[in-house]
Amino acid sequence: MVQAGDALARRRFLGFLAASPLAGALFPGGLGSGEAQAADAAATSITAAEQAINVFDLQAVAERTMRPAHLGYLQTGVLDDRTVAANRDGFHKYGFRARRLVDVGTVDLSIELFGQTWASPVALAPVSSQRAFHQDAERPSARAAQRRGALQTISTLTNVSFETLIDDRQAPLWFQLYPTNDPKTARRLVERADAAGAGAIVLTVDLLAGGMRRETQAALARRDAGNCAQCHDRTAGFPDYLRRKAMFDGLDLSRTTALGDPRLTWDYVRQVRSWTKKPVLVKGIMSGQDAEQALTHGADGIVVSNHGGRAEESLVGAIDVLPEVVAAVRKRAPILIDGGFRRGSDVFKALGLGATAVCIGRPYIWGLSAYGQLGVETAMRLIDEELTSAMRQAGVGRVSRISGADVVKL
């Protein structure tokens, strides 16, 4: 495996990253040689979204053109970024069983979640503040999801109103909730999303106690020559920061001082459950025990996630805990997962291990930054194409028929 300190920092990040004292820690787990070579080639050859042969091509363009501080925000993990690497490394622990002479002339990627059909099990994860990556913020992503028939979850910290994005998507969006430290604020957020037509509420619990130090983000922010204070001046305090986020328009934020509260317990899930009749999912689950707790306290679904390696430096990948979460849930609720998904074969493995759907984050933001709506569509298309190929090689014609028998533990 290529290590970041050897080749990845030179190949995948810009020259200023190679000079950074954190260059060897940006992605300690590295990427496979094929992925690194693809990034090398993309740095000089990709000039249009349709030329991309994988999402790493989009990544190379985004890294070359994105502001250092914004790149740091997107790519960072916490501390040494080793959990970011662990998310990727987890996929190398599994293969899939190839089968021959099975009729897979037609492959059906569609799935059903809470009574709604989606064209693919690949969904768009919530990513905050997308104006950092495109002048139109979240709107190109929503329009791309509409074109691809994809499920999309919108962050609490969206730059554009939830109502506008539902108009762009022309279908229900899911709303990701950071509960803040004020139950009144959280309830207003849920009620607004509910009234706008949210398909589900996704309560994020992995940052309630505050995240660990994001060193890569901080290091790259120091290397950004732009005037970051124009957009990020927090001298007026946290409520002023929230007022620049569309979902907080008109709210009394005088007592809102944080996006989470370390005092919250599982009873909070019941509280959120009481605010809406829409499905409630708990995002940030990394153990079978917590999956059981979530369901016991009223959750309708689980999202296995370590926030893309941005929550804790546990060194445990999301795919690593998926089997125990599946065993704990026992088919009582859908299970979504995010964290390190870059290939359709990654998606296939997660589905075989029991996931209902897979959420991608960084790959579609690379596309957004590089080529706007078309870049987001391209990221989804490439992963769908790779998933289709994996299903054909495994002799499986429908997503619903992918099972544990199709996955091999290496």
Beta partners for residue 301, in sequence order: 281
CA dist 342 and 57 (Å) reads 11
Pairing outcome for strands 94-96 and 301-304: unpaired
Two tokens, residue 39? 């990034």
Two tokens, residue 86? 């662990």
Two tokens, residue 169? 């998507």
Question: Taking a C-beta distance cutoff of 8 angstroms, is the pair 62, 75 a contact?
Answer: no
Residue 307 bears catalytic tag:
yes
Q: 79's torsion region: left (phi>0), alpha (psi -120 to 50) or beta? A: left
The torsion angles phi and psi of 112, rounded to 5 degrees, stand at -125, 135
Closest to 107 measured CA to CA, from 403, 404, 402: 402
Give the residue carrying structure tokens 């790493």. Answer: 56
Catalytic residue among 70, 134, 297, 307: 307
Q: Which residues are catalytic?
A: 307
